[in-house]
Amino acid sequence: MATLIGNPFIKAFFIIFLVSAATATGDAPFIIAHKKASLNRLKSGAERVSVSVDIYNQGFTAAYDLSLIDNSWPQDAFDIVNGNTSHSWQKLDAGGHLSHSFELEAKSKGMFHGAPAVIYFRIPTKAVQQEAYSTPILPLDILGERPPEKKFEWVSFVWTNSNQQSSYS
pLDDT at 27: 77
pLDDT in tens, 79-133: 999 999 999 999 999 999 999 999 999 988 889 998 999 999 999 888 889 999 9
More confident residue, 82 or 12: 82
How do the domains of the chain map onto residue ranges?
27-141
Give the Cα-Cα-Cα angle 130, 127, 72 (nearest 5 degrees): 25
pLDDT at 102: 97
Fold for the domain defined by 27-141? Immunoglobulin-like (2.60.40)
Give the Cα-Cα-Cα angle 50, 74, 63 (nearest 5 degrees): 65
